[in-house]
Structure 1
C-alpha cells in the first residue's frame, strides 16, 4: 500500500513539474483542426464541360477554375470548389500558382477589361495615362448611359507588366450593379479564363499584383482578412445578389451591325483591314513575337494587315532585321512575317531593295499546333472516338490531399486533351474555317500570291 502511494505521489509531482514548465492558458480554447477547414468540395476534371455539369448538380455555391499544369503547351485542368475552399489553399502561395477564374458565358458578371500592348512596338506609349484615360471615359459612359456613379476608386487595378509587355486587369466594383453576362459587357462571348489575383502564367515569374496606381480599397471586415477581400473583389463572377441589384444590358445587335458595316466598307475599299496593336488573331500575334524575340534581340510588331480574299496576315516587324535570304541581319531594313491562314504556314519577306529585286521569299514553315485548326480538328476527333469507347474517361479527381508545388496533382494524373471551348472558338472563326480543306504544305506561292508592291503600299499607308 505504501509503495502504491509513493508511486502515485511521484506521478503527481512529475505532472506538476510539467505544468510549471508549460502552464495552461488563462482561457482554454479547444482546437478542432478539422472544423477550421471549409467543407471539402474539390473536384478536378479534364474538360471544361464536365466541370460545369458537376456545378449544376451541386447544391453548394461552387465555381469553376482553370489550373495550368504543363509548361510549354498551356494545358489546363478544371477545378470545381467554393471561394472559401480555394482561398484556404491558395492564400499561402505555396501551391496553385497558375490559376484562372472561368467566367461562365451566361452568368451575371462585373464589368472588366484585359489590357495589354507591346512596349517595344510602342516606345512612346504611357500605359498608366492610357489606363487612367480609359477609366475616365468608362465612368463617364456609365453615368450617361445607365446613370451609374463610378470613379477610379471603384476600379480594382491589377498589374502583371514586364519589360516587353504592358499588362493590366481592370475589375469595376459597382455597388448593386452588374451586367447580364459577358456578351452585354462586350468583352468576350464564351467561358473566359481570367487569371486570378496573385497568379502567374506557367513558365513565367510575373504574378498579377495590385498596380501602384490602384485607387480601389475593399471594405474592412472583422471576419475576412484584407488579402481575402482583395481576392474576392478580383473575381469577375463574384456578384452579390440582392433585391436592389440592377442588371445592366447593352444592345449588342446594334453594335454588331456597326462592326459588320465597318468591315464591309473597309474590305470594299481596300480588300483588307489593318492596325497597330493586336490583330484579330492574338494567338498568332504571340507566335510572331516569339519569332522575333530571340538570341538577345527583342523585336516587335509595328503594323499588321489582313487581306480577306487570300486569308493572309502580314506583319511589319520592327527592331528585328535578321534575313533568311542573306543569313544575317540587314543594316537598316526590317523584315515582314506573312502568315497564310488558309494553308496554315508562315514565311518571311524583306523591305531590303536587294531582296525585293530578287523577289525573295523564304521557305514556308507550318504554324505551331496551338494555332493550327487542323491540329484542333484532329485532337477533337481522337477524343470523341476515345470517349465513345470509354464513357468513364475523365472522372472527377479526389480532394487536395497531395498538392504539389506546381499544381493540384501530378502530371501523370491528367491527360493532354484540348478543351472543347478552344476547338469551338477556332472552328467558328469564319476566316479560318476553310483551312481544314487544304493541305498544310500544299501552298507556297502560286496564283493567289499577293504582289510585293501591294503589300508594301498597304504597310506604308
Structure 2
C-alpha cells in the first residue's frame, strides 16, 4: 500500500488515499483519458528509502540572464562528483546527465521550474537525501559556484535555485502529468529528455520517488566516516535522525527570524540561547535568554525565570512556555507562522496512520 494525495482546493487542501501502484496507475490513466484534471502527489513516507530528487526553480524576472538548462547540467555534474567522493565503491561509474535522469518541467513565462529524479541514486530515507542536498549546496556556495546562485523573488537577496526544504517527513511531491490546483501547467518531460511526450505505465512508475526495489542498494550518510563527511555534515545528520541542539541557526532560518522578532522588544530584548530540534514531531524548542521573559500567564515579564518558545512546523504556530514553577503546564495562545513558512508539504503521521482508502 502506497499513499498519494489529491489537491482539491486552491488553498492547498488535500485528500490522502492509499493504493497499490498498479491500482493507482489504472485510475490515473483513466482520469487522463477522460481529460479530468490531475492534481496528484506522491507522499514520500518518513523513513522510507527513495530516489534522490531535486526541486529547482527561480524567478525569470529577476534572473533574466540565467540559463536554466545549463544550471541543471552543472548541478548534475556537481552531484556526481560529491557522490563519487562520499560513496566511491557504490557510485564510481555513475553517469548523471539529462539523458540518464528524469527531468520534468512545469515552467511558466515568469518562473523556471523543474523536478529532477535520479533513478541511479537511492537514499535510505528522504531525510538523509536532504542532508546530502544541503551539504552539496553548502559546498557549492562556499566554493563560489555561480550556477547555483539566483536572486530570490524579492529581487534583494541571493539564494540557491535548489529548494532545500523539500526533504521533510511525509513530503508531498507532485506527480508526472499533474498540475497544482487552479493552474494549467502540468509536470511533463522536457523536450531534451529521452522520455519526452510519454506518459505510460513504465515511465510513470519510474518517476515515483519511493518506487525502489528492496534489492537495490541505498546510500546512508550514517555509514560515512566522519573524516569524509565533515563535521558540518555529521551535525546535520544528527539533526534529521533525532533531536539536536545548537547555539547557531536552526535548520529553519525563516522560523528563527520570526522568533528573533518576537523577543526583540525595546526595553526587554532577548536572544536565543540555544535551540533543540525534535525530528519525530517536527518541532523546535527555543530557549530564550536576556531580558525577554514575558509570560502570557501572568501578563508580564518574570523577574528571574526564563521562558521558552516552541515552533510547531506541522501546525504552523509558535507558543510560549515557562520555566517558572507557578506556570508549570501553561502554554500561551499561538502566534501563527505567516504565509508559506509553515506549509512545507508535510503531513502529520496521525493523518497518514488513519488513511487506508482504495481509489
Superposition RMSD in Å: 3.9
- Tell me, yes or no, if the aligned pair for 2:57 and 2:111 is still in contact at 8 Å: yes
Q: What's the offset of the Cα at 1:122?
A: 2.2
Q: Which residue of 1 aligns with 2:219?
A: 248
What CA distance in whole angstroms lies between the structure 1 residues aligned with 2:37 and 2:105? 19
Q: Which residue of 2 aligns with 1:185?
A: 129
Compared with structure 1, are the counterparts of its residues 266 and 439 closer, same or farther at alpha carbon in structure 2 (3 Å cutoff)?
A: closer
Compared with structure 1, are the counterparts of its residues 167 and 257 closer, same or farther at alpha carbon in structure 2 (3 Å cutoff)?
A: same
Q: What's the offset of the Cα at 1:88?
A: 1.1
Compared with structure 1, are the counterparts of its residues 434 and 426 closer, same or farther at alpha carbon in structure 2 (3 Å cutoff)?
A: farther
- Tell me, yes or no, if the aligned pair for 2:47 and 2:126 is still in contact at 8 Å: yes
Q: Which residue of 2 aligns with 1:52?
A: none
- Tell me, yes or no, if the aligned pair for 1:157 and 1:215 is still in contact at 8 Å: no
Structure number with the bigger relative contact order (C-alpha 8 A, sep ≥ 6) is: 2
What CA distance in whole angstroms lies between the structure 1 residues aligned with 2:74 and 2:261? 38
Q: What's the offset of the Cα at 1:125?
A: 2.2
Q: Which residue of 1 aligns with 2:212?
A: 239
Q: What's the offset of the Cα at 1:265?
A: 6.1
What CA distance in whole angstroms lies between the structure 1 residues aligned with 2:101 and 2:315? 35
Q: What's the offset of the Cα at 1:166?
A: 1.3
Q: What's the offset of the Cα at 1:111?
A: 0.5
Which among 302, 313, 323 is matched to residue 425 of structure 1?
313
1:44-103 alpha-carbon deviations (Å, 9 max, x no partner): xxxxxxxxxxxxxxxxxx2100001123x1111011111111111212413361000001
What CA distance in whole angstroms lies between the structure 2 residues aligned with 1:114 and 1:134? 12
Equivalences, count: 226
Structure with a larger share of its residues in helix: 1
What CA distance in whole angstroms lies between the structure 2 residues aligned with 1:440 and 1:184? 31
Unaligned runs of 5+ in 2: 131-165, 223-228, 264-310, 322-330, 337-359
Q: Which residue of 1 aligns with 2:8?
A: 69
Structure with a larger share of its residues in strand: 2
What CA distance in whole angstroms lies between the structure 2 residues aligned with 1:433 and 1:157? 41
Q: What's the offset of the Cα at 1:434?
A: 4.5
Structure 2 length-normalised TM: 0.54
Which among 168, 171, 181 is matched to residue 114 of structure 2?
168
Check if 1:135 corresponds to 2:76. Answer: yes
Which among 200, 209, 220 is matched to residue 227 of structure 1?
200
Q: Which residue of 2 aligns with 1:310?
A: 261
Check if 1:151 corresponds to 2:39. Answer: no
Check if 1:81 corresponds to 2:19. Answer: yes
Q: What's the offset of the Cα at 1:150?
A: 2.7
- Tell me, yes or no, if the aligned pair for 1:143 and 1:150 is still in contact at 8 Å: no
- Tell me, yes or no, if the aligned pair for 1:65 and 1:102 is still in contact at 8 Å: yes
What CA distance in whole angstroms lies between the structure 2 residues aligned with 1:150 and 1:206? 30
Unaligned runs of 5+ in 1: 1-61, 218-224, 268-272, 274-278, 285-304, 313-422, 442-461
What CA distance in whole angstroms lies between the structure 2 residues aligned with 1:433 and 1:440? 6
What CA distance in whole angstroms lies between the structure 1 residues aligned with 2:258 and 2:18? 42
- Tell me, yes or no, if the aligned pair for 2:195 and 2:203 is still in contact at 8 Å: no
